[in-house]
Chain A
Amino acid sequence: MNYLIPMMIGASDMAFPRLNAFGFWLAVPASIILLSSLALGGFDTGWTGYPPLSVRAPIGIQMFFLGVFLAGMGTILSSLNILTTVIRLRATGMTGFRMPIFVWGSLATSFISMTATQLIGLSFQMVMFERLFGMGFFDPAKGGNPILFQHLFWFYSHPAVYVFVLPGLGIISELLPVFARKPLYGYKWVAISSFGIALIGFLVWGHHMFASGMAQYLRVPFMYSTLLVAVPTGVKFFSWLGTLWRGKIIFPVPMLFVLAGIVVFLLGGLTGPPNATVATDLHLTDTYFIVGHFHDTMFGGYIFPFFAAIYYWFPKMTGRRMNETLGKIHFWLMAPAFIVLSTLMMRIGLLGMRRRIADYDPALHVTIDHTVMTVAGFLVGLGILVFIINAFWSMRNGEIASGNVWNSRSPEWQVPSPMPVHNYDKPFEVVGDPYDYGLPGSVYVRFKEEE
């Protein structure tokens, strides 16, 4: 995001370049501390770090908390940087509804991570203080409340999934018109729906706690707010279908990943309501059904669009194209295997397979499913291996592509690749709507001549 956004809005750099670098390099100590956790006893709690287990577990969990805390700090700094950049440094004429749609998704994401991340930092710090100084926040013996941790934790960690997904959905909306050669259907509604998802996302955290002893009367409001998320998400799906409808679709590798993303995200989206509804969730909670749902939303909303974005903007970054054949191999290894994997996860979840355990009762009759899932998992991994080889190979030997490879209308494709260090030599002016593909005579950006 920090690379693409200044480029898409016509800025030479982020608003605060030094802050940007600081936030990025915080990732180094954060990763070192996180990895050291593995050597110091690991974190038995999983990523959620629920007390009381996280208070009693070995010192590794302390390192886990610290690492996540530092990483979170980097996120906060970089998100307020993105917000400021988009508010202040847009090109002349680029009004809110003329921004590329990816920028909207990133704005919504930054808004979430700027505010909610503080709460996970706080909850993790409170556990650390409980460990270090014996403060009894989450210790019922001292009058504390372990549920409080879950509230603080999920207040961040539910919006956190939108932090992943919103830029991903933005990429889908960004790339789809390019490859369907049609205007993005309902641009304004798609832009607003990103913020709709972000805002509703703040009010749904309780659905992670239906079965955890949260106050009973909170269940139904959280159920309804969670189901409400489907509305702005539905807007996006409607727009995607409307964009594809009767378009002159072409299928290079990025488009394949975009389409896979849409399909998989649809699977993930449709399996959401059963989890959001209290009655069904009490049966499904902590089963593989949740795991399957989560993988579908993450792969559909984040991983597939992520690969699409890499294939799409790789020429912009390096001046060379990635190999199409290897890209197609990557896609056909990964996408079908992944769909098999996640669907089977949901099947065995419905049959009663619990998550977070290493073994299971053979009487569940899920051994064959598990075997197939393992094979599928390795195929996904193999696909990603192909991708990595492709990326390194293409960086050196890829076909040279300095022009507008995808016939995109975005400003960054109107100048030769790779991008110069400070993006644009000449400032440009936005004179039209961003996604008027196929409309004769429409212009999005016009470069100013020498002044």
Chain B
Amino acid sequence: MEHGSKSSALNFGMIVLGALAILTAIEFAIAITINIWQVLALIPILKALLVGYYYMHITRVFEEDKDANRESFSYKLATNRIGLWLFLISDSFIFGGLMISRINLLGLTRPDLIQVLGLGVTSVLLISSFFANRAEVSMEYGDRKRFIRSISAAIGLGVLFLIGVLGVEWRLAPFGPETNLAGAVFYVMTGFHAFHVFTGVIFLVIVLRNGLHGLYSAEKHWAVEASAVYWHFVDVVWFFFYPALYLIGTLAQ
């Protein structure tokens, strides 16, 4: 990693989180004041680029092979990275399809939801993503204690997000899935996303368990990286779903 020492790498993660938080705040402010959908569509793209570059390390996919030996760990690692990213590309098509359905069915209207609660769960997931990155960076420098702490925080916040969406939002929403179109779109989008969050939590828990058993080292921790990248991906999806459900347009009747 080119960012010098461990503490600077950790600090850098925090700077990225700060930038993401500012963007999220701007997004919310625009939504409740002038509500220009073009801007609200642009901000998630910026956030996704930030996360994709700094947290998910997309550039690693294109790195040259240091080791030409096919049986070596680094060669297999690079192969695994390609496989994971292809899976994410594939998965993003289903979310893209959901977004297209939402645009087709609802247009510039949105379901009648509590916007502050949406901001809350978004922040929770964002911070969780930050901790996942922190766990990965710690492992990269062999700091096992901080890795365990950070990944536990990521899991806890992930569960909190699920409670926020499935436990609170689904109960408080003034409509059921069958009431109207907005309800149908809302439940199917949050449901699909929550399922991915759920699998991500399971993934992180397995990594935590293996980490407690001491299976990872600074050199070999592909599972940590993979779970973190998947977790960031789930977060990126929510970057797009959140304005689509909570912010853009006027209330659907």
Contact = CB atoms under 8 A, between A and B. Distances in A.
Interface of A: 15-16, 19, 76, 80-81, 83-84, 87-89, 114-119, 121-123, 126, 129-130, 133-137, 142-145, 148, 151-152, 155
A19 B100 CA distance: 30
B219 interface: no
B90 interface: yes
A151 B188 CA distance: 18
A353 B79 CA distance: 53
Interface string B173-194: 0000110110111011000000
B91 A88 contact: no
Given A15-B79, A88-B79, A136-B178, A148 B184 contact: no
A84 B78 CA distance: 10
Contacts of A15: 79, 83
Given A119-B94, A126-B188, A133-B187, A81 B83 contact: yes
Contacts, number: 92
Contacts of B104: 145, 148, 151
B101 A152 contact: yes
A121 B93 CA distance: 10
A148 B101 contact: yes
Interface in B74-89: 75, 78-79, 82-83, 86-87, 89
B177 A134 contact: yes
A122 B181 contact: no
24 contacts: A80-B83, A80-B86, A80-B87, A84-B83, A87-B82, A88-B75, A88-B78, A89-B70, A114-B89, A118-B91, A118-B93, A119-B94, A119-B97, A121-B94, A122-B98, A133-B177, A135-B188, A136-B178, A136-B184, A137-B185, A142-B181, A143-B105, A144-B181, A148-B104
Contact of B90 (A118, A133, A145, A152): A118
Interface in B175-226: 177-178, 180-181, 183-185, 187-188
A422 to B, nearest CB: 12
State the main secondary structure of chain A at its contact with B: helix
B99 to A, nearest CB: 11
A232 to B, nearest CB: 23
Interface size, B (range): 20 to 34
Given A135-B177, A144-B105, A152-B101, A83 B188 contact: no
Given A15-B83, A16-B83, A80-B83, A118 B180 contact: no
A261 to B, nearest CB: 30
Contacts of B177: 129, 133-135
A19 B77 CA distance: 16
Given A119-B94, A135-B188, A148 B105 contact: yes
B90 A115 contact: yes
B101 A126 contact: yes
A89 B187 CA distance: 42
Contacts of B87: 80
Contacts of B91: 118
Contacts of A152: 97, 100-101
Contacts of B97: 118-119, 122-123, 152, 155
A135 B101 CA distance: 13
B14 to A, nearest CB: 34
Contacts of A130: 184
A346 to B, nearest CB: 35
A183 to B, nearest CB: 30
